[in-house]
Amino acid sequence: MTALQELFLKELEAVTSTAALRELRSRYTGKNGVLTGELKKLPALAPHERAAFGKQVNIDKVFIEKRLKEHEQVLTTKEIKAKLSKNPVDITLPGYYKKPGGRHPVTIVLAEITEIFVSMGFSIEEGPEVESDYYNFEALNIPINHPARDMQDTFYIENTAGSQSNESAFVLRTHTSPVQIRVMEKRVNESRANGTPLPPLRFIAPGKVYRCDSDVSHSPMFHQVEGLVVDKNISFANLKGLLEGFLQRVFGPEVPVRLRPSFFPFTEPSAEVDMGCYFCKGAGCRVCKGTGWIEIMGAGMVDPRVFRNVGYDTGKYSGFAFGMGIERIASLKYGIDDIRLYYDGDLRFLRQF
Ligand code: PHE
């Protein structure tokens, strides 16, 4: 053993912490350490002595590094053990757990509805929630003073013109039907600008709608999905077939569907679409008020007045429209009897989906 090795071992023996070891390591193997110091002696030596000297320094270096590593391992293990015995970890304690987020039932049902219509070749359109009186009412053949305006419990946005006329008024849209007007208008303008014929239309328009109404079955904000199909030779039978197919995909292939005559200013003829009660299978229960049927959406053939308002040739085109409430469909699917549950944000409710 060289004198250097002996001196090193003596120092190493005195080292009892990893901190002190780090200090010793840097003092021996560091840039200005003992080993570098040894090598600096080389130039002063006679040329024939240099090779042997250099070799010896290298051997010392390997020796020192090996011992440092061994000692480090011993000290580290010792320190971890000491730490653990002072601050024991109770591995039986429950861990911290963050519950993953989930999708809202309205989102789940909307995704399902969208998927069904997309699979049938429908595209998806959107319109603004703050809508002009014209699109929400006028163009849909609901003129001012029409009783249907009261039916819809409209939230009016302050008319800055302060005039009596409703022409410049804005509302929170009371239904998604204004998207019918917006899309048809856009197609007419495009076809006029490009000189191309009007393309057939087949889209759904999901979104939020607003009505000044609030109880177990009404919320001031809820969601609808509008549908519009316009082409040559579209018939009422097409409407019935489509809606039957749709409802049977959502509620099962056995579910009966019926259409009842009804009225909407923007469709003629109009129908209320009922399906067999999901809960009692038609026997009559509280949900269907003993009738065995549940009203699920409004529909009808596009009224010629609506076509005229957007510039469609009523001699050439016909079409149908339908509109449904998403919460209503979700409530039937999941058996939810209070619409307010959707908006309270109560995790006990939301975690069930
Ligand atoms: N917009 C109507 C409503 O909200 C529903 C509807 C849409 C009816 C399309 C017929 C056609 O009550």
Distance 150 CA to ligand 1 centre (A): 15
Reduce the DSSP state of residue 43 to 3 states and report it: helix
**CB 264 near ligand 1, within 6 Å:** yes
| pLDDT for position 89 | 82
- Local confidence band at 159 (pLDDT 50, 70, 90 cut-offs): low
Cα separation, 165 vs 133, whole angstroms: 10
Inter-residue contact 239 to 301 (CB < 8 Å): yes
Mean pLDDT of the region 118-143: 96
Side by side, the strands of the sheet bearing 221-231 are: 123-124, 201-210, 221-231, 318-325, 293-302, 267-276, 257-264
**CB 298 near ligand 1, within 6 Å:** yes
**CB 319 near ligand 1, within 6 Å:** no
For domain 105-350, is the CATH number 3.40.50.450? no
Mutate to test the pocket of ligand 1, among 151, 175, 179, 260 (most ligand atoms within 8 A of CB): 175
- Local confidence band at 164 (pLDDT 50, 70, 90 cut-offs): low
**Residue ID of nearest Cα to ligand 1 atom 4:** 175
Read off the amino acid at residue 27.
R
Inter-residue contact 267 to 303 (CB < 8 Å): yes
- Local confidence band at 323 (pLDDT 50, 70, 90 cut-offs): very high
What digits encode the pLDDT tens for the residues 32-71? 999 999 999 999 999 999 999 999 999 999 999 999 999 9
Mean pLDDT of the region 323-335: 94
What digits encode the pLDDT tens for the residues 260-294? 999 999 999 999 999 999 888 889 998 889 999 99
225 is written with which tokens?
């999905």
Mean pLDDT of the region 99-126: 96
| pLDDT for position 48 | 93
| pLDDT for position 123 | 98
Cα separation, 313 vs 306, whole angstroms: 11
Cα separation, 38 vs 40, whole angstroms: 5
DSSP bridge partners of 206: 225
Distance 298 CA to ligand 1 centre (A): 5
| pLDDT for position 65 | 96
Cα separation, 228 vs 226, whole angstroms: 7
- Local confidence band at 172 (pLDDT 50, 70, 90 cut-offs): very high
The residue extents of the domains of the chain are 3-86, 105-350
What digits encode the pLDDT tens for the residues 69-111? 999 999 999 999 998 889 888 889 998 888 888 899 999 999 9
- Local confidence band at 129 (pLDDT 50, 70, 90 cut-offs): very high
